[in-house]
Structure 1
Amino acid sequence: MEYNIQIEQKILEKGHTQMEVDSCHSAIECQIKHRDIYLPSQYASISKEARSMKPYNVHFLNYDFFFDFSKSLMYDSIRPGRVANDPVVTDIRALLYEPEGLIKYKLSYNDDYVLLPKRPKPRSILPKPKLYQSRIPISQIKWNHLQELKRVIPSDCHSFYDGLPHK
């Protein structure tokens, strides 16, 4: 809406999917096999190494990357039906997002787009608030278990586990 563009989203059918990203995941999995990983940051390094000729771009995301869109949803649901035996979300094969905020759907790739039967709510496209104000704490039990694992983790990695926020 902000850029006044139309976006078409096609949903692949279960069992009939093959995406370029599948080869990325496979390459990364091959690099991870038989390696000791002690820190989340090691996954980023390994992901970059997974393709030697042209390394993958890896972006570190922190808690402050995420925005809270919950208050700005124009639709409560994208379910195309209203009652039992009507189409459900998993029946949708394509969505078309119009610049005005309307959403259209297809149940088959060969169908024409149909407007969702839900009425959109007026919403602002103003900047959204951050979803998190600080790092998300883990439970005390999980933190304790991670502390126990430090016996088998190199000591130069201990500070990461010590610094995890916990309740």
Structure 2
Amino acid sequence: MLYAVNKMDNFLQIIDLKYMESGHSYLEADSMHATIERARKHRKIYTTEEWALLIEMARKKPRPYNVDTLSHSDFYDLQTLASLIMINTKFNTKNEQVKWLKIKWLRFEKSKPFVIQYKYELSDDIFLELNVLQARKCKKNISWETVSLTQKYRKRLTISEKKKKDLLILLQKKVIPEAYKSYVQNIPSSKKAEDLVSWPTPSDEEEGN
């Protein structure tokens, strides 16, 4: 948010981010998810391209959803950006500890380039302020003119070789239709890639887990 208000748009002066009370809110995204889930029922989807088409056609009135398809080159390295500018995340300008999970309102202003303003209640009269560069041991001289975003990924992400092998077996056994052969075969794999879902160990299988 700090990067956006300072770098992305000359006309953008303030970004407000408010967190709604749980159970007392309506988010358009919730309605969208429900609509997409209804459209997905009784359908088999094998590729990301099919997901994009399904989402686009899930709603007809007042108009179909607009779907932007992203590739690996569209993602930026926000972790490196944060490590560069977020020197202080613990204490505000009053030397009070910031209670992040209790924050209800965040404000970012171009006129305060390295300050995060926040409130614990929407009805609070004033914002508290966190200067992200204000740290006792910070000796960095940073300006937004010297800060830039870099790409997160230089090439397509890989899956593990074990997962790729399983996909090819599913293709061979016709669980995945033959029409998707080229798509599956072209998925990059690597020995170094880690699966997000852990594989069962022999002891797990013996215990029925």
Q: Is 2:105 the counterpart of 1:113? A: no
Q: Which residue, out of 177, 189, 193, partners 1:154?
A: 177
Aligned to 2:117: 104
Opposite residue 109 of structure 1, the aligned amino acid is L
The runs of 5 or more residues in structure 2 that have no matched partner are: 1-5, 135-139, 191-209
Q: Is the 8 A contact 1:80 1:89 kept in 2?
A: no
| Separation of aligned partners in 2, 1:127 and 1:97 | 18
Shift of residue 40 of structure 1? 1.6
Shift of residue 87 of structure 1? 5.0
Opposite residue 107 of structure 1, the aligned amino acid is Y
The one-character-per-residue Cα deviations of 1:62-102 (angstroms, maximum 9, x if unpaired) are 00001113333322464567xxxx55321110111121231
Q: Is 2:79 the counterpart of 1:58? A: no
CA RMSD of aligned residues (A): 2.1
Per the normalisation by structure 1, the TM-score is 0.86
| Separation of aligned partners in 2, 1:153 and 1:77 | 50
| Separation of aligned partners in 2, 1:119 and 1:38 | 47
Q: Is the 8 A contact 1:80 1:88 kept in 2?
A: no
Q: Is 2:186 the counterpart of 1:163? A: yes
Larger radius of gyration: 2
Change (3 A) 1:65 1:165: same
Q: Is the 8 A contact 1:10 1:95 kept in 2?
A: yes
Change (3 A) 1:48 1:77: farther
Per the normalisation by structure 2, the TM-score is 0.70
With a CA cutoff of 8 Å and minimum separation of 6, indicate the structure with the bigger relative contact order: 1
| Separation of aligned partners in 2, 1:131 and 1:22 | 29
| Separation of aligned partners in 2, 1:80 and 1:94 | 17
Aligned to 1:138: 159
Q: Is the 8 A contact 1:104 1:116 kept in 2?
A: yes
Shift of residue 149 of structure 1? 2.0
The runs of 5 or more residues in structure 1 that have no matched partner are: none
Change (3 A) 1:87 1:35: same
Q: Is 2:144 the counterpart of 1:124? A: yes
Identical-pair percentage: 29
* Equivalenced residues, count: 163
| Separation of aligned partners in 2, 1:16 and 1:75 | 32
Opposite residue 19 of structure 1, the aligned amino acid is L
The one-character-per-residue Cα deviations of 1:94-145 (angstroms, maximum 9, x if unpaired) are 1111212311111010112110265356243544211100001111111112
